[in-house]
Structure 1
């Protein structure tokens, strides 16, 4: 594997870059502090901007690590921060990782997240050398399933009662795409 950390990535409409210290308000108001955006995430929304700032400072401190892969999804034309996409849980011995993402509701429905995730997958398979990238989706999150399926992921199974959310246990669906499958998808 050739892990080089979070490097800039570009698509037709997007620039994926490292987060900056001044991004905290956009992260908080865009998704991290929003109940509607965190409904299908395993963590609760940030209660205050300060909580988001602490989370962001953690990310900034980890950018020196070659296996920390966390991108701010920005609109190419305006530079507006629209979301986040990452590769985490990197397992170099087995050449695999997990992905997760979030997008501000203002930018949903325009195909931006499949575009961003596609760029991250191309990077992950072609440059970093991953063989497998997976994702866990809380049961019922149809929008996330559509993003994954557009990018070539296949549902592999159910992780029963995987997460505790709102005092109840929730199932998660396991999806994955292999390097060989993604290559076939992108032709």
Structure 2
């Protein structure tokens, strides 16, 4: 923990605690965590990378509100493992646990607006952007604006869950844009999956441009779905055209006899030509 993330000032830049100055300080924190496991409301996990069998970060419930069944998440990960999807995977797993096992109806998190990468993790983990609270958070940068993201349990609201377009781990989620409308957001995993299906090797710039085009198309489809089509029968063409068939009757023949009249030599109803192979 100390060497992989807790002592790195870049990791703690937008967090609420200072980097650890010694291994002993980290050991003391770990002892406090171990003691906390005796309490039912204490939730603290390590993010472990199987390949090296070492913890590379941590994720925890930093606040609980049982009255509204709400749990706030906090997390961090070592710099060597940034932008590789590990944090998103951990957040998704903890959200599933809190909703299925603990009974949380709302799991939320917040980040310094100067740290948008943390917001990307929240969005990819299925959280929706709820808004920004001005001057509401104090971290190592001072008093800052805080962006709020949350995932709501449909079971807690007694609602049917919205369908999520998923194919082999790829996903499309919806987030609220600054203008208040819901926009489609395609994950990087989806773009990778589409590239595999289409046998395309896209550069990062090409993949980003393609993702933007696909998101715009999905947004337009959502717009079309809002149209009232009550009483309108489905159609396969914009014009009422029907196929007109004629009888399949030969009228002028195939003309092969007239064609063969021009052949210098004929054989078996065809042109006879000199051999070009096998001589």
Tell me which interval the TM-score lies in, with the shorter structure as reference length: 0.7 to 0.9
1:49 deviates by 2.0
1:109 to partner: Cα distance = 1.8
Deviations 1:101-137 (A, max 9, x none): 1111111221111111111111011111100011110
In 2, Cα distance between equivalents of 1:34 and 1:40? 12
Taking the aligned partners of 1:104 and 1:164, their CA distance within structure 2 comes to 22
Structure 2 distance, partners of 1:124, 1:112, is 19
Q: Give the alignment's TM-score, normalised by structure 1.
A: 0.78
Instruction: Name the structure 2 match of 1:143.
Output: 117
2:31 matched residue in structure 1: 57
Question: Which residues of structure 2 form unaligned runs of 5+?
Answer: 156-160, 167-279
Q: Offset of 1:35 from its aligned partner?
A: 0.6
Q: 1:34 to 1:157 in 2, by over 3 A?
A: same
Which residue among 90, 94, 106 is the counterpart of 1:120?
94
Residues 135 and 168 of structure 1, relative CA distance in 2, 3 Å threshold: same
SS in 2 for 1:38: coil
Deviation at 1:168, TM superposition (A): 3.5
Q: 1:53/1:131 Cα in 2 relative to 1: closer, same or farther (>3 Å)?
A: same
Count of aligned pairs: 160
What is aligned with 2:66?
Answer: 92
Larger Rg: 2
1:129 corresponds to which of 92, 103, 108: 103
TM-score (structure 2 length as normaliser): 0.53
Q: Which has the higher contact order (CA 8 A, sep 6+)?
A: 1
| Distance of aligned partners of 1:146 and 1:130 in 2 relative to their CA distance in 1, 3 Å threshold | same
Q: Please identify which structure carries the higher helix content.
A: 1
Q: Which runs of 5+ in 1 are unaligned?
A: 1-26
Distance 1:139 1:49 in 2: 31
CA contact (8 A) 2:131 2:147 kept: yes
Q: Is the 8 A contact 2:16 2:140 kept in 1?
A: no
| Distance in 1 (alpha carbons) for counterparts of 2:85 and 2:141 | 33
Structure having the larger proportion of residues in strand: 1
Distance 1:135 1:166 in 2: 17
The structure 2 residue matched to 1:78, chosen from 27, 52, 58, is: 52
Map of 2:14 onto structure 1: 40
